[in-house]
Amino acid sequence: MNWQQEQQAFWDWMTRPQDLRDSADSIDALMAPHQALSRVEALAIYNNAYHQRLIQISSELYPVLYHTLGDDVYTRLWLEYIAEYPPRPGPMGLLGEHLLVFARQHAQFGQLPALLDIIELESLLISLFDKADEPAFTRPMLQALPIDQWPVMCWQPKQDWALMHSRFDLEAYWTLMQAHLAQETAIPGETGFAVPLHEPAQTVFYLVRRVNHRMQFQRINQAMLVFLQGIHLHFPFADLCEQLASNFPEEDIAQLSLTLLLKAIDLQLLHARLTA
């Protein structure tokens, strides 16, 4: 075994959740004796410490998920996740980049829709925070654009926002959870409240975005959803208006489309770059 193979073997023993006794012969052959501990026991200490540190970091990245599940269940979720998706070099924010995919496919966690929505939202809050800064389209830029060019213009979405939907009132739950987290005696898994469903029962869409290097999310109405979905699909303005007309035939589409465009501009969702 050359040094690259030795390094890879050591890395695998350190980073993958496993019973190291299954590799006892290989570990004995590679590592020097220890006066008090067997080679397997010595390496197991580092293996366990490594994974406990990863779980601690993840609980800081996903505080709502951590305090929803509690320490034992949360640890099991992450050990199983890391076993399937070992960490790769890069920012710690990448640690949970596949967590939602893993949880959706999990036999137990995949049956918990509120849990999946919490994972999706916290994952978006993490990933969008790290997006590069981009110049935003402004009202003066809109005023400078000849009105006859509007129909063919494509407003481009900035990278620091996304859409998601949920049957659960995530805004109310986040408010309750923030109050829970502010307590010095807060115990993970012992919140005393559950994730509430929307009343009346409905699916609500959320806009998740970065604002001045802080993350927030807010409920949006159906018209804003249709408009922003079209922006993400790079529809020209004329096509956006057609989409709105087909979904809201009773509305004044000229007024509605302008209102939504100005709202998107004020929220700094549109890139300064325009394409026709």
pLDDT digits (tens, 9 = 90+) for 148-198: 999 999 999 999 999 999 999 999 999 999 999 999 999 999 998 999 999
pLDDT band, residue 269 (cuts 50/70/90)? very high
Q: What is the pLDDT of residues 200-250, one digit of tens each?
A: 889 999 999 999 889 999 999 999 999 999 999 999 999 999 999 999 999
pLDDT at 11: 76
pLDDT at 13: 86
For residues 9 and 1, is the Cβ–Cβ distance under 8 A?
A: yes
Partner residues linked to 164 by β-bridges: 206
pLDDT at 143: 96
Say yes or no to pLDDT of 3 above 60: no
The candidate with the shortest Cα–Cα distance to 224, out of 192, 188, 261, is 261
Q: Measured between alpha carbons, how far is 126 from 116 in angstroms, rounded to an integer?
A: 15
Say yes or no to pLDDT of 85 above 90: yes
Type of residue numbered 1:
M
**29 vs 246 pLDDT, higher one:** 246
Partner residues linked to 9 by β-bridges: none
pLDDT band, residue 144 (cuts 50/70/90)? very high
**18 vs 49 pLDDT, higher one:** 18
pLDDT at 17: 87
Would you state the structure tokens that stand for residue 147, as one six-digit string?
Answer: 């009105």
Q: Measured between alpha carbons, how far is 28 from 113 in angstroms, rounded to an integer?
A: 45
pLDDT at 33: 61
pLDDT band, residue 41 (cuts 50/70/90)? confident
The residues, any chain, with a CB within 8 Å of residue 171's CB and separated by 6 or more, are 217, 218, 219
Q: Measured between alpha carbons, how far is 127 from 27 in angstroms, rounded to an integer?
A: 38
Say yes or no to pLDDT of 6 above 80: no
- Mean pLDDT over 17-27 rounds to 89
SS3 per residue for the chain: CCHHHHHHHHHHHHHCCCCHHHHHHHHHHHCCCCCCCCHHHHHHHHHHHHHHHHHHHHHHHCHHHHHHHCHHHHHHHHHHHHHHCCCCCCCHHHHHCCHHHHHHHCCCHHHCHHHHHHHHHHHHHHHHHCCCCCCECCHHHHHCCCHHHHHHCEEEECCCEEEEEECECHHHHHHHHHHHHCCCCCCCCCCCCCCCECCCCCCEEEEEEEECCEEEEEEECHHHHHHHHHHHCCCCHHHHHHHHHHHCCCCCHHHHHHHHHHHHHHCCCEEEEEEC
Q: What is the pLDDT of residues 89-139, one digit of tens each?
A: 888 899 999 999 999 999 999 999 999 999 999 999 999 999 999 999 999
- In angstroms, the Cα distances linking 122 to 64, 218, 221 are 8, 14, 22
pLDDT at 261: 98
